Chains A and B, each alone.
Chain A
């Protein structure tokens, strides 16, 4: 501290230069903020102009649909527990699709990530190829893969599982490879010095270091996949999404059943969110499971 003080006293140009830098940063920040606000306002005006109906008068109607669902569910509230029991097996199917696809996609992601990490990859020249392959897996929407597979394989949980697993492999592969980049190379080199082959170096040198981080991301992905698997039900992949589509259509008078499904989905996601945050906390703070 003392050194720094004497330096700034004896050399006022340093503090001047620094203050000038601060002023410059503030000016740039202000300009960026102005551009941001201008873009937001301009974009909103364009959207308002091109909208089929009027956007602002339509706003109050947004709440009509949820209000109808809640009102109808409230009238038939006595039947709700029955509906919940009725739709529970579909919920299990949805969770199963999510679990299997997370597991398969996660395992594929570990392999992809090890092949795409600088300093670890078996074929360093293939890294860009593997990375682009993962980009492709992430870029194609799950629903598109699922629709194609349903067309080819027929409806059911398997197409949904494959579609979500492919997307998971791409998404987790990228995250895992970023974790791998932070792994210490000492153990890997130690194993190389005893003549271990690449697979042994990766499994024993890298994976033990990064396994808790892998698990943490995989749990997060599991939550995402439950939602994805429910959505895929809409296109005929089975599970609770299929029931939701059948009940939520206007005019069928089944809003009470739809409400039961919403309650189930909400409860499931809250449960898994809590569960995974507990597990992740324990992993990061090193307490035994």
Chain B
């Protein structure tokens, strides 16, 4: 389905992503972990074509993503939704308009200029907001919402694109534990109910273990681990983060439960 071959990105002398190979055969929920600067964000941005690859290629089904230009590239971007750490919504516009931005690739510039969207799209947008539990905020300006609510608006915008892949770049890094849980559960639910592929950069190990089917560890631009959450032992994690014996998973956990019981918690019914 998705095949990344020898993908490399250089910023001047720095190599952000170094000859990466990833093959995904069926839709899965994939977590990418690693230190800051390990190349996680660059990898996702290359998938969405926000950053251009230096060499190597990304192939999705029969489409060579790295060769796309102009309208074809924008069309790919519409099929490959991206969720950002800082939400990247338009703050002064209302929530529904922000969700409707997911359809921009299908709409003419003139109609979007006057904020004219078909009735059916507006209803669909509100349905998606309802599914994520924030329909009551529909008419508010995006900037009036809390971080967790804004991130769910961003997820709604992603869903409005009806994407084949959802990329999430540190989706919960600026959220409190409660909102982080809601957002991660929403992403997991989208994967389970719609069968969409979700690739998320995560900054905590326990989130990756708890929500993902497959975990990829990156260090200094290279993939150093690729396996199931069960295979991700503390020793492997120390390797990924380049940490010593003092490294403890509970210390970085954002889960409320870890305060009392550091053991692994099974995925809650979502």
Contact = CB atoms under 8 A, between A and B. Distances in A.
Interface of A: 184, 186-187, 189-197, 199-200, 203-205, 208-209, 211
B50 interface: yes
Contacts of B84: 186, 189-190, 193
Contact of B48 (A191, A193, A203): A193
B163 to A, nearest CB: 9
A194 B157 contact: yes
Q: What 4 pairs between A and B have smallest CB-CB spacing?
A: A190-B88, A195-B78, A195-B77, A193-B82
Interface of B: 48, 50, 71, 73-79, 81-82, 84, 86-93, 101-102, 104-105, 109, 112-113, 154, 157, 161
Nearest to A193: B82
Given A193-B84, A194-B105, A199-B113, 20 more contacts: A186-B84, A186-B88, A189-B50, A189-B84, A190-B82, A190-B90, A193-B48, A193-B77, A194-B78, A194-B104, A194-B157, A194-B161, A195-B74, A195-B75, A195-B78, A195-B104, A195-B161, A204-B93, A209-B91, A209-B92
A187 B78 contact: no
A192 B154 contact: no
B101 to A, nearest CB: 6
Contacts of A187: 88-91
A203 B109 CA distance: 9
A203 B86 CA distance: 21
A192 B102 CA distance: 10
Given A186-B84, A189-B88, A208-B90, A194 B113 contact: no
Contacts of B101: 190-191, 194, 196, 204
- Majority SS at the chain A contact face: helix
Contacts of A196: 74, 101, 104-105
A203 B79 CA distance: 22
Nearest to A209: B92
Contacts of A208: 90, 92-93
A284 B81 CA distance: 35
A194 B166 CA distance: 11
A178 B28 CA distance: 45
Given A187-B88, A200-B112, A192 B161 contact: no
B112 A195 contact: no
22 contacts: A184-B91, A186-B86, A186-B88, A187-B89, A189-B84, A189-B88, A190-B82, A190-B84, A190-B101, A193-B82, A194-B77, A194-B161, A195-B74, A195-B105, A196-B74, A196-B101, A199-B113, A204-B101, A208-B90, A208-B92, A208-B93, A209-B90
Contacts of B105: 194-196
A194 B102 contact: yes
Contact of B90 (A192, A195, A204): A204
Contact of B154 (A190, A203, A205): A190
Given A187-B89, A200-B109, A208-B90, A193 B104 contact: no
Contacts of B79: 195
Most buried by B among A196, A197, A211: A196
A203 B113 contact: yes
Contacts of A186: 84, 86-89
Nearest to B48: A193
B162 to A, nearest CB: 11
A192 B89 contact: no
Which of B101, B157, B161 has most chain A Cβ within 10 Å? B101
A193 B91 contact: no
Contacts of B77: 192-195
